[in-house]
């Protein structure tokens, strides 16, 4: 029922209207059974009345119209529900914090919002068709009851036994399908390592084999479970068909000995039971798809619940009524700030840290690998919220509700930056200006800005960083953050970055936070911060600072 509540909650169309059409479709199909049997009896007497033909034509027309309309409306309702859940989840996701996304993982998010929603979308027409077939079965049973009470009891007993057997195995099937969903997410993650790390995999035979073994291993595990599910479903299907033929055998061989039965009665019952074969198979098929859709919906609900809990804890995802409240800041300060990753109480942490950044100055952050430089940048930019300590702007603490406005101060190029194909968030840009900046970065002929997007992103790492710098400069934020931007540049562009670009930004009143290892350019900063094992070992003004 959770699946139907999901549709009712998310869909804008009338569920009562859809269900009414399904009911009409099923009853009209059952009506045709009665009309056909009546016509057959009349034909045996040498005459078929016109009113019976008219009744059949009317029932057929009603069936066609209601079936088409109900299936169409059900599919539209399902697609609208899927759209709504995707949009709602994306809305919550964009309001969530970076730690939640990092902890959840891309594979989990993509699988829930793509594969699971597609499973529900593909299942809904089958499920509604099964619902219509269930009504046909009900109508058929009522028709059998009208003909023979004993036959009705026998048929009902057989169907109840089949239903009970199926329901007994339903929990096992659902558990298997839940494992399959988890394995498919694991497969996406493993395949991501193969695709994203293709260069590294390609040059190492052993790594290549190891990664492939992982990918194929997960695929085999998924196959094993799905084969078990399919075999169980096949057994149920064969059992249901066997029961139908057993019912026929009872009607033909047993029923005549229990009550007086005319040949016409046996023929009507036989026709009625045979009429139920296809609807019963459809119902069973729909049950199987319903299980898959229920498991998929449960996974989506679980992710949504995790998002809701994260948003409740963070309470900082709503837009600030004054997003430019900090635009005129003079100082940014960390005061006794401590951050540790969740679940790592005794593991790595940074802090307590005390740091003051003055507007218009450049602060360089240096330190060995793994000392916490990138983590510090995420704390400084408000992407990570410290467990203790305070972040202050002009001596006033930044409250959690003001974090969205605080983040508006920064334009960042992280070490693991994402390069967008469009300049999102920027409008009314002059393409000539953008292409001029691209040329200044030495990218003319490699990519250009046309029709609101970059024509090529298939660039080297250094070139991608230069294109990201173009986007960052166009954002025109008060604070520019660079996480080892110059590490992948040639000497010419490295020198241009430190000797021309950074001083140019400072001349415009911009503030710079940069992680760097280029000690020959330390003179370009006004504050040098040395970090070691998550703590500041020195905060100083370098010699020769401009």
Every domain of the chain and the residues it spans:
2-314, 331-540
Predicted TM-score (pTM) of the model is: 0.75
**527 vs 11 pLDDT, higher one:** 527
Phi, psi values for residue 537, rounded to 5°:
-100, -15
Domain 2-314 CATH assignment equals 3.40.50.300: no
Q: Give burial (CB, 10 Å; 0-12/13-18/19+) of 8.
A: middle
Distance set, CA 83 to CA 88, 89, 108, 111 (Å)? 8, 10, 18, 15
Q: Which of 72-86, 244-258, 495-509 has the highest mean pLDDT?
A: 495-509
* Whether pLDDT at 390 is above 50: yes
Into which CATH architecture does domain 331-540 fall?
3-Layer(aba) Sandwich (3.40)
Coil/strand/helix, residue 360: coil
Contact 270, 250 (CB under 8 A): no
Instruction: Report the pLDDT value the prediction gives residue 243, as an integer from 0 to 100.
Output: 78
* Whether pLDDT at 13 is above 70: no
* Whether pLDDT at 317 is above 50: no
Note the pLDDT tens digit of each residue in 436-489: 999 999 999 999 999 989 999 999 999 999 999 999 999 999 999 999 999 989
Contact 68, 82 (CB under 8 A): no
Q: Which of 94-103, 115-124, 300-309, 358-367 has the highest mean pLDDT?
A: 358-367
Average pLDDT, rounded, for the chain: 84
Q: How confident is the model over 52-64, as a mean pLDDT?
A: 83
Six-digit token pair at 463? 């070139």
State the Cα–Cα distance between residues 271 and 210, nearest whole angstrom: 60
């Amino acid at each position: 029922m959770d699946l139907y509540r999901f549709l009712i909650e998310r869909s804008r169309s009338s569920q009562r209207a859809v269900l009414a059409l399904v009911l009409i479709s099923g009853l009209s199909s059952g009506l045709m059974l009665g009309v056909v049997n009546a016509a057959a009896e009349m034909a045996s007497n040498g005459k078929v009345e016109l009113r019976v033909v008219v009744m059949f034509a009317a029932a057929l027309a009603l069936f066609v119209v209601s079936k088409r309309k109900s299936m169409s409306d059900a599919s539209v309702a399902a697609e609208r529900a899927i759209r709504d859940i995707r949009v709602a989840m994306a809305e919550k996701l964009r309001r969530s914090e970076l730690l939640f996304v990092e902890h959840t993982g891309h594979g989990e998010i993509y699988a829930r919002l793509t594969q699971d929603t597609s499973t529900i979308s593909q299942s809904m027409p089958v499920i509604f068709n099964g619902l219509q077939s269930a009504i046909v079965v009900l109508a058929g049973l009522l028709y059998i009851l009208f003909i023979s009470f004993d036959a009705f009891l026998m048929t009902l007993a057989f169907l109840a036994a089949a239903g009970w057997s199926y329901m007994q195995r339903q929990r096992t099937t659902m558990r298997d399908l839940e494992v399959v969903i988890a394995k498919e997410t694991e497969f996406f993650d493993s395949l991501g390592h193969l695709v994203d790390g293709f260069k590294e995999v390609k040059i190492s035979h052993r790594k290549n084999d190891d990664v492939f073994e992982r990918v194929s291993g997960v695929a085999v595990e998924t196959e094993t479970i799905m084969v078990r599910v399919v075999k169980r479903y096949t057994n149920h299907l064969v059992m249901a068909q066997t029961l139908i033929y057993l019912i026929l055998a009872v009607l033909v061989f047993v029923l005549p000995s229990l009550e007086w039965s005319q040949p016409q009665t046996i023929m009507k019952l036989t026709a009625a039971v045979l009429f139920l074969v296809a609807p019963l198979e459809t119902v069973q098929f729909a049950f199987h798809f319903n299980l898959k859709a229920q498991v998929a919906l449960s996974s989506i609900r679980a992710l949504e619940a995790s998002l809701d809990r994260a948003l409740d804890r963070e309470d900082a995802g709503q837009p600030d009524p004054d997003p430019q409240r900090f635009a005129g800041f003079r100082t940014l300060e960390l005061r006794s700030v401590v951050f540790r990753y969740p679940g790592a109480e005794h593991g790595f942490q940074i802090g307590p840290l005390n740091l003051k950044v003055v507007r218009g100055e450049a602060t360089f952050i240096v330190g060995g690998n793994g000392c916490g430089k990138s983590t510090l940048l995420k704390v400084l930019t408000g992407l990570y919220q410290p467990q203790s300590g305070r972040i202050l702007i002009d001596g006033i603490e930044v409250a959690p509700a003001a974090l969205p406005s605080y983040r508006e101060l920064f334009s960042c190029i992280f070490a693991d930056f994402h390069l967008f194909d469009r300049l999102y968030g920027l409008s009314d840009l002059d393409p000539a200006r953008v292409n001029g900046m691209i040329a200044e970065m030495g990218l003319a002929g490699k990519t250009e800005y046309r029709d609101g997007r970059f024509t090529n992103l298939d660039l080297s790492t250094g070139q991608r960083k230069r294109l990201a710098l173009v986007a960052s400069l166009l954002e025109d934020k008060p604070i520019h953050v660079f996480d080892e931007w110059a590490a992948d540049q040639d000497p010419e562009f490295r020198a241009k970055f430190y000797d021309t670009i950074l001083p140019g930004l400072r001349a415009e009143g911009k503030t710079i936070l940069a992680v760097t290892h280029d000690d020959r350019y330390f003179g370009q900063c006004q504050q040098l911060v040395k970090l070691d094992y998550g703590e500041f070992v020195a905060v100083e003004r370098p010699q020769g600072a401009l």
